[in-house]
Amino acid sequence: MDALALHHDAVVVDAHNDLILVVDHFDARGRTDNFGEYWLPQLRAGGVDVQVLPICLHRPFQSEGGLRRTMLLIERIYRLADQHADDVAICLTADEVDAAVATGRIALIIALEGGHAIGQDAALIRTLFRVGVRVASLAHNGRTFLADGSGLDASSRSRLTPEGVEVFTEMESLGMVFDISHLGIAGVDDVLERATRPLLATHSACLALTDTHRNLGDPQIKRIAELGGVVHVAAAVPQFVDPKNPSAERVVDHVEHLIEVAGVDHVGIGPDFMDDYMQNVYGQWLFPPGIEPHEVPADVERPADLPKLTEVMVRRGFAEADIRKVLGGNALRVLHDVMGVPKR
């Protein structure tokens, strides 16, 4: 089996890449086509067919400026799609994803990494759905009016707030895919008790292999699988994979553990390519509470590195059908079940 040929023939879904933050960074410095100059070649080299684009708000925007910042970045994604209409398309349903991929374009899915834009006004989740958001989490590393992020696990283990419950319920009703990756442990358990539809962990890994608050325990992984959901391995973050050895081999160790715990139908890839953002914006990696600095860069550091994962899976004897599921087939199933599909 030719690993590179298989990788580029498969439908590859990257469930989490904050590239719009890098695009915005360079916009402010007069370089208005960072996507075309850098990210588009990277995505093509990595064989990415479907790209989830999260909107992440860092601390200066997380209170009064949250909604404004979110809307500006959503508008930037729409302008990016207009700039590169031959190469990408914003998709609101899984059928639109299929149509984009069939014509050789990269399907873009707008997501929220945290519910900061919603504030205390749960009705705004419907507004965000109207402007194209199709995947969302309720918190990032810290606290929102909806839930606690995993960075607070040492000091607070709150379940969803009443507003958070309202937003979660409305997301299921609308057909917005829930992303469980950044929730604190009590919030994860709360959602997994309430959930009636498949959901995603867009960029997590296995607590059994790497002990960090951002990874999921086996009981949580099993429950996500019971719901029909998918856990995507954050291959580009050394702290989640293995701080001392963040290699492609170790990423596939996480894939194999997920298969052992949940089955091959519930595993995907959500690398969380943060190196370009950290280096360009801050000149170094910055770490939230509870995350220790790493000394070794990730083996899968940029989209062009994604074929390394397929090479490892082929070398370990994965069946071709299973590799295709991990690379994107499982995520596509959830998108067809939930994205833009109202709850009956």
Q: Report H helices in the chain.
A: 3-9, 19-27, 34, 40-45, 66-83, 94-102, 124-130, 162-174, 185-194, 218-226, 238-241, 248-262, 275-277, 307-315, 320-324, 330-338
Asked if pLDDT for residue 13 goes beyond 80, the answer is yes
Q: Mapped to the 3 state alphabet, what secondary structure does 68-85 carry?
A: HHHHHHHHHHHHHHHHCC
64 falls in which pLDDT band (50, 70, 90)? low
pLDDT band at residue 62 under the 50/70/90 scheme:
low
Asked if residues 177 and 334 have their Cβ atoms less than 8 Å apart, the reply is yes
CA geometry: angle 237, 239, 241, nearest 5 deg: 70
Q: Which two tokens stand for residue 171?
A: 């997301």
Q: b or e along 161-188 (b: 16 or more beta carbons within 10 Å of the residue's beta carbon)?
A: bebbbbbbbbbbebbbbbbbbbbbbbbb
Of the candidate ranges 81-90, 134-143, 165-174, 321-330, the one whose mean pLDDT is the lowest: 134-143
Highest-confidence segment of 86-95, 208-217, 284-293: 86-95
Rounded to an integer, the average pLDDT of 133-141 is 93
Identify the pLDDT of residue 59: 66
- What is the dotted CATH code of the domain comprising 3-338? 3.20.20.140
Q: What is the mean pLDDT of residues 212-224?
A: 95
Mean pLDDT of 163-180: 98
Pairing relationship of beta strands 88-90 and 106-113 according to DSSP bridges: parallel
Token reading at 129: 């759905």
Per-residue pLDDT reduced to its tens digit, 235-283: 999 999 999 999 999 999 999 999 999 999 999 999 999 888 888 887 8
CB of 327 closer than 8 Å to CB of 318: no
Check pLDDT > 90 for residue 61: no
Q: Which pLDDT belongs to residue 274? A: 87
Q: What is the pLDDT of residues 17-39, one digit of tens each?
A: 999 999 999 999 999 999 999 99
Task: Say if pTM beats, i.e. exceeds, 0.75.
Answer: yes
Both tokens of 130, joined, read: 């109207």
The reported pLDDT for the residue numbered 60 is 63
What secondary structure does DSSP assign to 129-186, as a single string?
HHTTEEEE-S-SSSB-SS-BBGGGTTT------HHHHHHHHHHHHHTPEEB-TTB-HH
pLDDT band at 290 (very low <50, low <70, confident <90, very high): low
What confidence tens digit (pLDDT) does each residue in 291-321 have?
A: 777 878 999 999 999 999 999 999 999 999 9
Q: For the chain, what percent of residues have pLDDT higher than 90?
A: 82
Buried b or exposed e, range 208-241, using 16+ CB within 10 angstroms: bbbebbbbbeeebbebbbebbbbbbbbbbbbbbb
